[in-house]
Structure 1
């Protein structure tokens, strides 16, 4: 599973952040690793330099073998909270999507 991290101009895309994203995604999606080929993570600060609640956004898009991509997003006060929230949402979405296929 490939993990690609993208940031907007208001988020510093340093190695530590990329490592955190990779660790969080791999740990959260380990049960689905055989079905997921790539995960694209887009991190942004929706208000830029202005400070406000829930302005950090994490969008995750998982590419599944033979299926349409699945995307979720989560807004939070910090970028780490946004990553964790999006990861949990993606786990639930993949569980639902792949569970429906197994029931057919």
Structure 2
């Protein structure tokens, strides 16, 4: 599974952030590894660096073998919370899709 982290001009895409996201996603999505080919994580600041409520966005696109991508999005005041909330959504989406395919 390939994990790609993208940031906008207002979120600094440091090596520390990339390692954090990669490690987190590898741990939480490990059981889907045989189905997932690629995960794209897009992090952005909706208010262009100014403070505001729920201005940090995390979008995740999960690509599974042989089907259309699954997409999830989350907003929060904190980028870490947005990442965790979005990860839970994408995990549920993957579980739902795989259950549908199995049945």
Query: Which TM-score applies when normalising by structure 1?
Result: 0.96
| Equivalent residue, structure 2, for 1:66 | 66
Q: Which runs of 4+ in 1 moved over 6 A?
A: none
Q: Which runs of 5+ in 1 are unaligned?
A: none
Aligned alpha-carbon RMSD (Å): 0.7
Shift of residue 80 of structure 1? 0.7
Shift of residue 21 of structure 1? 0.7
For residues 5-64 of structure 1, what are the alpha-carbon distances to aligned partners after superposition, in whole Å with 9 as ceiling and x for unaligned? 000000000000001110111111111111000000000000012211110000000110
Q: How does 1:8-23 map to 2 (within 5 A)?
A: 8-23=8-23
Query: Which TM-score applies when normalising by structure 2?
Result: 0.97
| Equivalent residue, structure 2, for 1:100 | 100
Q: How does 1:1-104 map to 2 (within 5 A)?
A: 1-103=1-103
Q: Which runs of 5+ in 2 are unaligned?
A: none
Contact 1:2 1:39 in 2 (8 A): yes
